[in-house]
Chain A
Amino acid sequence: MLKYDIVVIGGGPAGLAAAISAKRRGAESIVVLERDKELGGILNQCIHNGFGLHTFQEELTGPEYAARYIEQLEEERIAYQLNTMVMEITPDKVVTAMNREAGMFEIQAKAVVLAMGCRERARGALNIPGYRPAGVYSAGTAQRLVNMEGYMPGREAVILGSGDIGLIMARRMTLEGAKVRAVVELLPYSGGLKRNIVQCLDDFGIPLKLSHTVVDIRGKERVEGVTIAQVGPDRRPIPGTEEHYSCDTLLLSCGLIPENELSRGLGVEISPITSGPLVNECLETNVDGVFACGNVLHVHDLVDFVSEEASAAGEHAAEYILGGAGRSGSQGREVPIEAVEGVRYTVPRTICPERMDEKHTVRFRVNDVYRDCYVSVYFNAKRVIHRKRPVMAPGEMEAVVLKKEQLAAFPELSQITVKVERQ
C-alpha cells in the first residue's frame, strides 16, 4: 500500500492552498488527488475577473488565480495525481482511489484534508413541471461549455436563480451574442453578490425578477419556452401572474451543495444547515486527523477566503502529523459556538480557548436581509462584541474575529453565541 503523511482530496483552490501550507509548516510527504485532467478546480472555468484582491492585492481571473497556486505547488515539489477519483476513505484513513494508469489503489494516510468542493443543485431537486427537453443546463455546466470547451449552449436563455454563477453566465451569454430574457429568483432578494447584479445584469439591461419562479418548461425535444409566475410570501406561485418567455435554453443557478459522500462514508458528522462537516477551530472534523476546508465545508462567495481557510486546514494537518496537535493531542476544552436569531451557522462550530491562535475569524451567514442591525457575540450571557452592519444578506458571508486574550479572560466560558440584534 502507498503511504503518505497527508492526502488532500481535491486539487481546486482549497486543496492547493492546504497542500502548500502543510508543506511549508513542515509536512514532507503530501499527495493531492484530483479527478479532473488539470489542477485548479472550478477556477478554470471562472474566466471573469475579481479574484485575488484579498490574497494578491490585484484583480485576477479564475485561471490566473489558480495558476499562482499551481506554481507554488510545483515549487514546493508536492506530488499530485490527475484524472484520479477517490472512491472511499475509511476511518483509519485508508484512501481508495482509481485512475486509468494505476487502476484501483490504496493509500494509507496519517491525516486527510477534505477539499472536494461542491456541486450545483440540479433540476431534479427543484420540482419544475414540464417535459425533459434538451436545453436545460446548470449554470456551471453552461459555464464550462462556453469557457473551456468552446460551445454555446443556446441563443435565447432564461436563468432561474440569481446565485453568482447565474449572474456571471447572464453576462457571459450576452457577450457571446445570446439574448438573456430574464434572471428569475424565487426569493425577494438575490443570492448573488451586489457587484454581480451591477456588472452582470444592470450593465446589460437584463431584468432580475425577484419573487418569481419557473412553473413550466415547454418543448419536447428542445426547450421552446418557459412560463414564469410571481410567488407569494409562502413561495408558492400566484395564479394569474403567469408570463410566457420564449427561449431555447434554461440555466439553473439554484444553490450549491457541498460534496460530502466521501466524508459521510468515513463517519464525519455533517451539519444539516451547511451540508458540510462540523469542525473545530483547527478545521478538524469529529474524525481524528481528518480536516475540511473550502466549499466542501461550507459554500463560500470568495475564493480568497477559501484559500485562507484551506491554508489554516493544511497547517493544522501538518501540526497533527508532526506533533499530534488537534482534537486528539489537546487537553483543551471545546467551547461550542451557537448560531441563533438570524445567524444560520458558524464555521468553526467549536473553539478551544487554550489551543486557538491569537485571533480566530468565525465565518457565518445570516438567514434574511437585515438593514442597520448589529452582529453580537455573547460569552455565556455577556455581550462581548456588538458591531453595526448597514446591510447583511444571506448571499454574502459575514465574519467576526475572536481574540485569544478575550476568551482567556473568561475562564468560566461554556458557550459562545452569535446573533443578529436590532439594537
Chain B
Amino acid sequence: MQVKELICIGCPLGCPLKVELEGGQVMGVTGNTCRRGDAYARKEVTNPTRIVTSSVAVEGGSLAVVSVKTREDIPKGKIFEIMEALKGVKVQAPIHIGDVVVQDVAGTGVDIIATKNVW
C-alpha cells in the first residue's frame, strides 16, 4: 500500500492529508477536518483540478481589465491552454459578475465568467 501526503487547498486551514492508495485506488483519507478535504484528496491523486483566475481586456470601461475565473475547477494540466485561450480576448463594458466571457474554454466544457462589475 502506498501513502501520499498532501496539503489540502480547499480552504486556508491547509490540513495535512494522508491518502492511502492501493493500485491507483484510494483506500482512505485521513487528516482532513471537513468533507471538502476528503474530496480534494481523492481528486488530487487521481485527477487534480484547479480553478483558474485571470483577467481579460475591457473596452470602454472604468478599468483596463476585468477579472475572470473558470466557473468550475478544470484539470490541472489544462491551466496553460486556458491562459493561451484568454490571450487577446476583449469584452465590452458594462460587464457584470457572472457574465460569460468565453464559452467552453479550451475544450474543457467550462465557461470563463467575469468576477467583477466594470462599468
Interface pair B83/A67, CB less than 8 Å apart: no
Q: Is B54 interfacial (CB-CB < 8 Å)? A: yes
A44: nearest residue on chain B (CB-CB)?
B116
Hey, what's the 0/1 contact readout for B4-17 against A, CB within 8 Å counting as 1? Answer: 00111111101010
CB distance from A264 to the nearest CB of B (A): 31
Interface pair B115/A63, CB less than 8 Å apart: yes
| Of the residues B8, B54, B76, B97, contact of A195 by C-beta under 8 Å | B8
Given the contacts A147-B55, A148-B65, A47 and B115 also touching, CB distance less than 8 Å: yes
Hey, what's the 0/1 contact readout for B58-75 against A, CB within 8 Å counting as 1? Answer: 000011110101000000
Hey, what's the 0/1 contact readout for A39-53 against B, CB within 8 Å counting as 1? Answer: 000001001111001
B14: nearest residue on chain A (CB-CB)?
A194
Q: Is B51 interfacial (CB-CB < 8 Å)? A: yes
Contacts of B65 in A (CB 8 A): 147-150
| Of the residues B53, B63, B116, contact of A49 by C-beta under 8 Å | B53
Q: Is B110 interfacial (CB-CB < 8 Å)? A: no
CB distance from B77 to the nearest CB of A (A): 11
Contacts of B52 in A (CB 8 A): 175
Q: Is B79 interfacial (CB-CB < 8 Å)? A: yes
| Of the residues B7, B51, B67, B117, contact of A194 by C-beta under 8 Å | B7
A47: nearest residue on chain B (CB-CB)?
B67
Q: Is B18 interfacial (CB-CB < 8 Å)? A: no
Interface pair A199/B50, CB less than 8 Å apart: yes
Interface pair A195/B9, CB less than 8 Å apart: yes
> Interface extent on A, as a size class?
35 or more
CB distance from A186 to the nearest CB of B (A): 21
Interface pair B12/A302, CB less than 8 Å apart: yes
Given the contacts A44-B116, A148-B64, A59 and B9 also touching, CB distance less than 8 Å: no
| Of the residues B9, B55, B62, B79, contact of A146 by C-beta under 8 Å | B55
Q: Is B57 interfacial (CB-CB < 8 Å)? A: yes
CB distance from B35 to the nearest CB of A (A): 12
Contacts of A149 in B (CB 8 A): 63-65
Interface pair A63/B116, CB less than 8 Å apart: yes
Given the contacts A147-B65, A148-B65, A47 and B11 also touching, CB distance less than 8 Å: no
Given the contacts A197-B7, A203-B76, A302-B12, A64 and B97 also touching, CB distance less than 8 Å: yes
CB distance from A210 to the nearest CB of B (A): 16
Contacts of B6 in A (CB 8 A): 198
Hey, what's the 0/1 contact readout for B34-59 against A, CB within 8 Å counting as 1? Answer: 00000000000000001111110100
The interface of chain B, by Cβ under 8 A from chain A, is 6-12, 14, 16, 50-55, 57, 62-65, 67, 69, 76, 79-80, 83, 97, 115-117
The interface of chain A, by Cβ under 8 A from chain B, is 37-38, 44, 47-50, 53-54, 59-64, 67, 146-150, 175-177, 193-195, 197-199, 203, 301-302, 390-391, 396
